[in-house]
Amino acid sequence: MSQDAAASQVGAGQFAGRVAVITGGARGQGRSHALELARQGADIALVDRCADLDTVTYPLATSDDLAETVRLVEAEGRRCVAVEADVRDLDAMVAFVDGVVAELGSVDILIANAGISTLGSIVDMDATQWSETVDVNLTGVFNAMRAAAAHMRRNRWGRIIAISSMMGRSANPLIPAYCASKWGVIGLTKSVAHEMAYFGVTANVIAPGNISTDMIHNDMLYGLMRPDLESPTKEDVAGPMTSLHVQPVPWLEPEEVTAAVVFLCSEGARHITGSVIDVDAGASARFTA
Ligand SMILES: NC(=O)c1ccc[n+]([C@@H]2O[C@H](COP(=O)([O-])OP(=O)(O)OC[C@H]3O[C@@H](n4cnc5c(N)ncnc54)[C@H](O)[C@@H]3O)[C@@H](O)[C@H]2O)c1
C-alpha cells in the first residue's frame, strides 16, 4: 500500500490497508497476533503445517485450528487467506507469499512465528531431532523472510518480526537445538535489519518468556520441569516455570506478546530496527546486555 493510501485510511484502524503474513498462525501466539492485527484493520494471511512432526512430542496445530483462526479473523470484518504448508519448504513459502500478494494486494507485515520445541541431551541426541528443530525454527524464519522481503523492498515499507525466545538470549540444559535455533534467529534478523534499513523496512525480534500455549502445557515440558513426579500437573510445574522469570509469574498470556508485535508494526516504531524486545517477566534482567 502507498503512503497516501495509508494516510487516507486514518480512522479505520492503524493497520487499515496493510496485509500481515503470520507463520504458525493456526493457534497460540500466532492466532493472537492475527486477531489483534485484524481488529486494528489489517487483512491477514496465515500459513501453518497443521500436522505433527516426528521429533516433536506434543501435538502441533490441526486443520480445524487453522479454520477457527480464519473464522475469528473474518468475524473482525477482515479478509483472511490460509494455506497449509511447511515453513521448511522455501518453494512453498514463496508460492504462498506470491499468492497473498496476488489475492490481497501486498505483504506489509511478516510475523515469522512458527516454531517447535524439542528436548534432548547432547550425549545422545538424534540427528533428526537436531535438524528438524533448526530447520523449522531458523531456516523456516529465513524462508519466510526470503519470500516476503522482495515485495517489501519494492513497496519501500515493511515490518518484519521474528519470534525468538528467552532461550535465544540465555540457555538451559537439555534444549540445545531449541537454544541454538533461537539464538540464530537473532543474528539472522539483525543482518536483515541492516540490509533492509535503506528501503523503509524494519526487522526486529521478540524474545518471549514462558507463554501459556500448547507449546508449554504438555507432558514433555511438564516432565522436564518436574522429573521427580510421574504425572506432573499444571500446578506442579508453576514453581519451576516461575523460576525461569524474575517477576513471580509462571507464564504470560499470548496477548502480552501481541502488544509488542503491535508496537513494532506501528508508525511510532519506524526507527526501531535490529532490536530485540524481551517479553519475559524480567528474565532478561539476568542477561549480560
Ligand atoms: N510458548 C512459549 O513459552 C514460547 C516461549 C518463547 C518463544 N516461543 C515461540 O513462540 C512461537 C509461537 O509458539 P506458541 O507458543 O504459539 O506455540 P504453538 O505450538 O501453539 O504454535 C506454534 C505453531 O507453529 C506451527 N508450526 C510448527 N512447525 C511448523 C512448520 N514446520 N511449518 C508451519 N507451521 C509450523 C504449529 O502447528 C503451531 O500452530 C514459536 O516460535 C515458539 O518457539 C514460545
Residue 89: give the domain boundaries: 3-216+251-279
User: 119-174: per-residue pLDDT in tens?
Assistant: 999 999 999 999 999 999 999 999 999 999 999 999 999 999 999 999 999 999 99
Name which of 96, 141, 111, 115 is nearest 15 in CA terms: 111
Instruction: Please state at what angle helix 254-265 crosses helix 28-39, rounded to 10 degrees.
Output: 50
Q: How far does the centroid of ligand 1 lie from the alpha carbon of residue 6, in Å?
A: 31
How many distinct structural domains can be found in the chain? Answer: 1
pLDDT in tens, 42-80: 999 999 999 999 999 999 999 999 999 999 999 999 999
Q: Which pLDDT score, from 0 to 100, does residue 7 have?
A: 46
In a domain, 274, yes or no: yes
For ligand 1, the distance from its centroid to the CA atom of residue 216, given in whole angstroms, is 10
Tell me whether residue 47 is in a domain: yes
User: Does residue 190 lie in a domain region?
Assistant: yes
286 is a domain residue: no
Residue 206 falls within a domain, yes or no? yes
Torsion 121-56-140-203 (CA) sign = negative
Indicate if the alpha-carbon torsion angle 31, 163, 47, 97 is positive or negative: positive
In a domain, 287, yes or no: no
Q: Whole-model pTM above 0.85?
A: yes
Residues with CB under 6 A from ligand 1: 23-24, 26-30, 48-49, 60-61, 86-88, 113-116, 136, 140, 163, 165, 208, 210-211, 213-216
* Helix and strand element counts for the chain (H, E): 10, 7
Look at residue 238 and tell me if it is in a domain. no
What's the CATH code of the domain at 99?
A: 3.40.50.720
DSSP 252: B
Q: Which three cell numbers stand for residue 25?
A: 498462525
